[in-house]
Amino acid sequence: MKLFTKYNRVNITATIFTFVLGSIAFYFVLDYVLTRQLKETLRSEQFEIIHYVEEHHTLPEIQNTRHQWITVERSSEVLPRPKFKNSNFYNEKEKENESIKQLLFSINVAGQNYLITVNKSEAETEDLLKLIILVTVGMIALILLFNYLINRNLINRLWQPFYKTIDEIKEYHVSNRQPLQLSKEPIDELDLLNESLNKMTQSIYKDYAALKSFTENASHEMQTPLAVIRSRIDLLLQQSELKEQSLQQILSIEDAAQRLSKLHQSLLLLTKIENKQFLLNESVNIKKIILEKIREREDLIESKQLKIETNCTDLTLFFHQHLAEILFNNLLNNSIKYTPVNGLIHIELTESFVSFSNDAMNGPLEEGRVFQRFYKPSDSGEGTGLGLAIIKEICHLAGFDIVYTFTGHQHIFKIRFNN
Amino acid sequence: MKLLIIEDEISLNQSMVEFLSASGYLCESVLNFKDAVEKIEVYDYDCIVLDIMLPGGSGLQILQYLKENHKTDGVIIISAKDSLEDKINGIELGADDYLTKPFHLSELSVRVAAIIRRKKFNGQALITAGEIEVDTMGKSISIHHQNVELTQKEFQLLLFLIINKNKVISKNAIAEHLWGDDMDIASNFDFIYAHIKNLRKKIITAGGEDRIRSIYGVGYKMQLP
């Protein structure tokens, strides 16, 4: 729900509720005031009559109007005090029932007791009340309408810079090599938002740059000693007086150094992928890469007498060339490594997925752990244990799904592109 | 052939000097940016082996300097940073090649030789090793002036051994040179042996002398006078 819709909903409900309550209260107050006024009129009529009787000792001549009239009747009954009464009266002229208010009081004129009733129609009061209520309701409706229109236009306009900011954040990626630069806004809150975002991305960018240079420097610091080891070994091998046993030892040192170097490169790559230091903005021909990688490994495949079947459609994806190469390198390396001599590797590439299946040497891999770092099945030999983890991370970065299954004594790795 | 080795890690610097000197190059070496600039200002080199991260400055600045002063020294960058950007930056600034640490000295040697061939002889250099004549441009060899058909891998292998003549080359180094280091081949060197075997057969059939020595369990060596 939009903030504006939510705000409007609450605002309009509250406004209507307030206005209804207010109107009810207003109605009762008005009713009370008007009734009191009516009574006041009746009472002043009473006083006038009493006054007249005291002065002239006779009843005044009575002038009735349409809304106010007086009836006089002889009565033996004496009201101790004046009494108000509500009653109905049928107005023949207007052909409707009108409610009237009556004031009854007794008066003695020359020994004769009279009961005088002053009647006043409430029609006028009711009309007035109706009118006032009508005007009030009309006003409420108008206020609500204007409120809504103003809110809609004004708030939409006020929020415009906010949406602009959101758009810029959406476009922003920390590897774009600069912090966000949002403009100054005349509205304090939005300006505060922009300023805070600018500051935040600045610090994020600084951290990112620090992390990036750390991983790169760490790589430098690690690879340099490894380069020393390797170069020294190359020199050692040139010494003709070395015994075979010494040579073997030197070579196992070299192997270890090489593995260390590969391991470190793999970890560095994983870190870089996790830091999203690769932008997937190149169009990459997947089929070309797969066929190329197979061609590079012809000797390897031949020496194991593997059979490779490929069924590839032309497919170009928005991807990263280097990452795509690593991805298919690792998939192919695994397939070749874990297929028994004379085994079969089947590679299928369609518009929506790519799958690598190969004959298995042993049973299935543990499905839950196969993509974990340093997961090594017992027959894995001396791999880094990071190949599949890297595959998984690359797929994750690109939004692909990768699934491992084991069917028909074959390992199957299937990647869905979700395009 | 004169080389300048610019590398701040003393041990690695010495290794490169020792190996390349034994390959017949005249090597000078410096350990920092300042000394490197002083050397290049005064002398011309056939090839400069350049580390990027140096005390006192960046190897990229040295490339910049060479470019601005229209120096034609060949340059191979050796860097621990396996980052594409650096590679691209380096090549854009005029470096001829890029080698990621750690590397085999034999690989460095063959790359340096290639740069010098390109710079000095426009790639037209003919290399002779005994009775074998290698045309590096046409990627072909001849023995006793008779053309010998080699596969691409056999040619690469032979050239690698000839450039590193009289040096023991480990199977690892050969595998990395021929197949790159992103292939998982550490446990399987059978096919290197297959290529060596074919190469020997072709050389002998053409009347050449088999100068490739097997060093048991280690690798191979091209024995040349």
Task: Identify which of B109, B115, B139 has the alpha carbon closest to the alpha carbon of residue B126.
Answer: B139
| Residue numbers of A between 361 and 400 with CB closer than 8 Å to B | 381-383
Contact A235 B81 (CB under 8 A): no
Q: If you write DSSP's letter for every residue of A205-243 in order, what string do you get?
A: HHHHHHHHHHHHHHHHHHHHHHHHHHHHHHHHTT-TT--
| 3-state SS class at A357 | strand
For residue A40, with 0-12 CB atoms within 10 Å meaning exposed, 13-18 middle and 19 or more buried, which class applies?
Answer: exposed
Residues B17 and B115 in one domain: yes
Residue A219: list chain B partners with CB under 8 A.
Answer: 80-82
Q: How far is A221 from chain B (nearest CA, A)?
A: 8
Name the token pair of A418: 């979700």
Distances, alpha carbon A222 to alpha carbons A99, A226, A249, A268, in Å:
103, 7, 22, 11
- Beta strand pairing status for B57-58 and B53-54? antiparallel
How many CB atoms sit inside 10 A of residue A349's CB?
A: 23
Contact B19 A235 (CB under 8 A): yes
Per-residue pLDDT band at A98 (split at 50, 70, 90)? confident
Residues B152 and B87 in one domain: no
Residue of B nearest to A236 (CA): B168
B151 Cβ neighbours under 8 A, 6+ residues apart: B198
The β-bridge partners of B141 are: B134, B148
Residues B177 and B96 in one domain: no
Sheet holding A68-74, edge to edge: A68-74, A112-121, A96-109, A83-91
CA A310 to chain centre: 45
Between A33 and A159, residue with greater pLDDT: A33
Would you write out chain B's pLDDT as a tens digit for each of its 225 residues?
A: 899 999 999 999 999 999 999 999 999 999 999 999 999 999 999 999 999 888 998 889 999 999 998 888 899 999 887 666 777 888 888 899 999 888 999 999 999 999 998 887 766 678 888 889 998 888 889 998 889 999 999 999 999 999 999 999 988 899 889 888 777 665 567 788 889 999 999 999 998 899 999 988 888 999 988
Q: So what's the pLDDT on residue A153? A: 87
Find the CATH number of the domain harbouring B84: 3.40.50.2300
Interface with A, mutate which of B9, B103, B154, B183 (most A CBs under 10 A):
B183
Residue A226: list chain B partners with CB under 8 A.
Answer: 101-102
Contact B218 A247 (CB under 8 A): yes
Task: Identify which of B171, B184, B80, B49 has the alpha carbon closest to the alpha carbon of residue A233.
Answer: B171
Distances, alpha carbon A225 to alpha carbons A65, A218, A220, A392, B215, in Å:
119, 12, 9, 30, 27
Interface with A, mutate which of B7, B18, B183, B184 (most A CBs under 10 A):
B184
Contact A329 B183 (CB under 8 A): yes
What is the tens place of the pLDDT at every residue in A120-157? 888 877 888 888 888 888 888 898 888 888 888 888 88
Domain range for B164 is: 126-222
The closest CB to that of A302, out of B11, B18, B191, belongs to B191
Q: So what's the pLDDT on residue B185? A: 62
Residues B116 and B134 in one domain: no
How many CB atoms sit inside 10 A of residue A84's CB?
A: 14
Angle made by CA atoms A118, A124, A130, in degrees to the nearest 5: 140
Residues B147 and B203 in one domain: yes
Name the token pair of B175: 């595998």
Task: Identify which of B95, B40, B23, B201 has the alpha carbon closest to the alpha carbon of residue A234.
Answer: B23
For residue A331, with 0-12 CB atoms within 10 Å meaning exposed, 13-18 middle and 19 or more buried, which class applies?
Answer: buried
The closest CB to that of B83, out of A216, A258, A297, belongs to A216
Residue B59: list chain A partners with CB under 8 A.
Answer: none
Measured CA to CA, the distance from residue A195 to residue A210 in angstroms comes to 22
* A247/B contact by beta carbon, under 8 A: yes
Which of B121, B144, B173 marks a domain boundary? B121
Residues B57 and B111 in one domain: yes
What is the tens place of the pLDDT at every residue in A312-330? 999 999 999 999 999 999 9
Amino acid sitting at position A377: P
The answer to whether the beta carbons of residues B215 and B192 sit under 8 Å apart is no
The answer to whether the beta carbons of residues A70 and A48 sit under 8 Å apart is no
- Beta strand pairing status for A307-312 and A316-319? unpaired
Distances, alpha carbon A370 to alpha carbons A392, A409, B72, in Å:
10, 17, 52
Average pLDDT value for residue range A248-270: 87
**What region does B10 belong to: left with phi over 0, alpha with psi -120 to 50, or beta?**
alpha
CA torsion through residues B214, B215, B217, B218, sign: negative
* A230/B contact by beta carbon, under 8 A: yes
The answer to whether the beta carbons of residues A147 and A15 sit under 8 Å apart is yes
Find the CATH number of the domain harbouring B151: 1.10.10.10
Amino acid sitting at position A262: K
Distances, alpha carbon A147 to alpha carbons A57, A117, A139, in Å:
65, 51, 12
Measured CA to CA, the distance from residue A404 to residue A412 in angstroms comes to 6
Residues B115 and B130 in one domain: no
Contact B80 A219 (CB under 8 A): yes
Amino acid sitting at position A26: F
Per-residue pLDDT band at A224 (split at 50, 70, 90)? confident
Which of B121, B152, B175 marks a domain boundary? B121
pTM score, two decimals?
Answer: 0.68
What is the tens place of the pLDDT at every residue in A319-377? 999 999 999 999 998 898 889 999 999 999 999 999 999 999 888 888 888 888 888 77
The closest CB to that of B16, out of A231, A262, A300, belongs to A231
The closest CB to that of A261, out of B102, B187, B188, belongs to B102
Contact B101 A247 (CB under 8 A): no
Residues B133 and B112 in one domain: no
Angle between helices A321-337 and A286-296 (to 10 degrees): 50
| 3-state SS class at B134 | strand
What is the tens place of the pLDDT at every residue in A300-309? 888 888 999 9
Contact B170 A251 (CB under 8 A): yes
The answer to whether the beta carbons of residues B87 and A321 sit under 8 Å apart is no
| 3-state SS class at A26 | helix
Contact B15 A257 (CB under 8 A): no
Q: How far is B201 from chain A (nearest CA, A)?
A: 18
How many CB atoms sit inside 10 A of residue A26's CB?
A: 14
Contact B105 A300 (CB under 8 A): no
How many domains, in total, are found in chain B? 2
The answer to whether the beta carbons of residues A416 and A352 sit under 8 Å apart is yes
**Which segments within A39-161 are labelled E, that is strand?**
68-74, 83-91, 96-109, 112-121
Residues B43 and B107 in one domain: yes
Residues B92 and B181 in one domain: no
Contact A299 B195 (CB under 8 A): yes
ipTM of this model?
Answer: 0.89
* A142/B contact by beta carbon, under 8 A: no
Domains of chain A: 3-144 (no CATH), 189-274 (1.10.287), 282-416 (3.30.565.10)
Percent of chain A with pLDDT over 90: 23
**What's the Rg (C-alpha) of chain A?**
48
Contact A255 B186 (CB under 8 A): yes
How many CB atoms sit inside 10 A of residue B183's CB?
A: 20
Q: So what's the pLDDT on residue A380? A: 60
Contact A268 B170 (CB under 8 A): no
Which of B73, B90, B121 marks a domain boundary? B121
Interface with B, mutate which of A211, A216, A224, A232 (most B CBs under 10 A):
A224
Residues B86 and B176 in one domain: no
CA torsion through residues B50, B56, B62, B63, sign: positive
User: A-B interface: how many C-beta pairs under 8 angstroms?
Assistant: 127
Average pLDDT value for residue range A22-38: 87
Phi first, then psi, for residue A178 (nearest 5°) are: -155, 150
Residues B142 and B186 in one domain: yes
Q: How far is B70 from chain A (nearest CA, A)?
A: 30
